[in-house]
Amino acid sequence: MASLKEIRKRIVSVKSTQKITRAMKMVAGARLNRAQLRITELRPYAVKTKQVLSEVTQQARQNLAEVNEEADAQALALDDDQHPLLDVRPERRVMLVVLTSDRGLCGGFNTSICKLAEKQWREREAKGQQVKLMVVGRKGRDYFTRRKAPIEYIPDVWNNLDWSTSRVLAKTVLGHFLRSDAPVDAIYFVYNEFKSAMTQDVVCEALLPVANPTEEEAANDEEHNVEFLFEPSKDGLLEQLVPMYVQISILRALFESMASELGARMTAMDAATNNAGDMIDRLTLKYNRARQAAITTELMEIIGGSEALKG
């Protein structure tokens, strides 16, 4: 049985740990409020940008469906596919952009992302696709380095998370898609989508090529069908709109991942604080029992000595 001194030292150690976890929970909670505000402000802008891009490309597709002459149809098809980021190619080379954190102590946040990314990597390679991973965050880098994965590590993203950081990352991502020699045919983001402080959903979301609108989005566009006059031309609009959409999508994913990390850390530190409290209660009970046993033993020795002297 542990001595009273050992139990006291253990209680002091757990109390110190509890102070640290409580402080980390409070810091994560304060940062989470700011992260949620950034997502709330960015989401409408990102959704509207996607809607505008969808309407511009959808209008060309509708015009294409209405054309009867084969020559005109081919001309419109070429016009619709003229922007390289709208070009859909067979997925022979694929890039997975994996967003993990630089630090731990956030529960299963990083593990769930890395496992989904590894699953995508293994399954796509089994299909004969060539897969490369672009990793943001030291935890993801360490995970995939141990597994000998083909990775490109992007450092110092979370230290300065702003519009300029998103622009640099977008430029890097677009460079792989638009390069002349061995370009990647598709780029997917693997990250945690923020729902609440308690809930984060791991998603694998297509980034490039720019996806066609879903049936629901197309139906909504038809309900609000409006004839647009492009100024400048549609080519000039797409030249600005498509890279902007990619950059905003990347920034939104970064914000979602940051908020998810803070929510996961706050939840993990709250659980650690509660566990430390339960451990302190158990150790205190154990200490009291050991102290009571020691006092009883001393009393028995005193009584036994007294009886021996009387005899």
pLDDT tens per residue across span 261-297? 999 999 999 999 999 999 999 999 988 888 888 888 8
Which pLDDT value is given to residue 43?
80
Helix (H) or strand (E) holding 217: helix 215-223
Give the Cα separation of 283 and 80 in Å (integer): 71
pLDDT-above-90 percentage for the chain: 26
Tokens of 138: 């030291």
Catalytic residue (choose from 106, 116, 208, 269): 106
pLDDT tens per residue across span 110-152? 999 999 999 999 999 998 889 999 999 899 999 999 988 888 8
Which pLDDT value is given to residue 311?
61
Task: Please answer whether residues 140 and 114 qualify as being in contact, where contact means their C-beta atoms are separated by less than 8 angstroms.
Answer: yes
pLDDT tens per residue across span 200-254? 889 898 888 876 555 445 555 555 555 566 666 666 777 777 788 888 888 888 9
Task: Please answer whether residues 287 and 11 qualify as being in contact, where contact means their C-beta atoms are separated by less than 8 angstroms.
Answer: yes
pLDDT beyond 90 at 185: no
Whether 204 sits among the annotated catalytic residues: the reply is: no
pLDDT beyond 90 at 22: yes
Q: What CATH architecture is 35-67+88-268?
A: 3-Layer(aba) Sandwich (3.40)
Residue 117: which residues within 8 A CB-CB, separation 6 or more?
96, 98, 133, 140, 144, 190, 204
**Boundaries of every domain in the chain:** 35-67+88-268
